[in-house]
């Protein structure tokens, strides 16, 4: 899967940037028996429907020509969203101090999700400070995902 997403990201980046946006992520996932190729974009002040449409119209013919996916799929361009996933070290650096949810593969102290302010990220180890001031450190093998959350 990563080969497809990497190829699409490489194709999409110049198109997204030409529209004044930033490429946030590309995912290729199966949902309800169908495949979806999603390109997530971001920009200062937020993404609107016109941004998504412009990127989609410019990228769609290039995808048809390059044909990076042999099977049929649904193509979508959307905003990274306010509660976006943080995946890369640069994502964590950009949103250090932000309120986030850390979802775990297995429960720790009876919970699989912890909410708090991002206080650190080092090689996949995520540190948060809960609203009651408790510092929690999660090792990479524990962390299923990290998403920004609105307070």
Q: For each of the chain's 151 residues, which pLDDT tens digit applies? A: 568 999 999 999 999 999 999 999 999 999 999 999 999 999 999 999 999 999 999 999 999 998 888 889 999 999 999 999 999 999 999 999 999 999 999 999 999 999 999 999 999 999 999 999 999 999 999 999 999 999 8
Task: Please name the residues in contact with 88: beta carbons below 8 A apart, sequence gap of 6 or more.
Answer: none
- Among the residues of 27-149, which ranges form H helices? 49-66, 89-94
Beta-carbon count within 10 A of 150 CB: 6
Rounded to 5 degrees, φ, ψ at 149 are -135, 145
CA 57 to chain centre: 22
Q: Which CATH class is domain 89-148?
A: mainly beta
CATH 3.30.300.70, the chain: domain bounds: 2-79
Fold of 2-79: GMP Synthetase; Chain A, domain 3 (3.30.300)
Segments of the chain assigned to CATH 2.30.30.100: 89-148
């Amino acid at each position: 899967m990563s080969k497809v997403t990497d190829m699409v990201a490489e194709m999409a980046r110049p198109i997204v940037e030409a529209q004044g946006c930033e490429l946030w992520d590309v995912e290729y996932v199966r949902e309800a028996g169908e495949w979806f190729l999603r390109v997530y974009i971001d920009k200062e002040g937020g993404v609107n429907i016109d941004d998504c449409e412009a990127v989609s119209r410019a990228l769609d013919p290039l995808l048809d020509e390059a044909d990076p996916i042999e099977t049929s799929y649904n193509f979508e361009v959307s905003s990274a969203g306010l509660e976006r996933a943080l995946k890369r070290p640069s994502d964590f650096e950009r949103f250090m101090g932000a309120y986030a949810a850390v979802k775990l593969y297995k429960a720790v102290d009876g919970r699989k999700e912890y909410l708090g302010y991002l206080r650190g990220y080092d090689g996949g180890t995520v540190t948060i400070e809960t609203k009651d001031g408790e510092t929690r450190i999660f090792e990479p093998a524990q962390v299923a995902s990290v998403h920004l959350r609105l307070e």
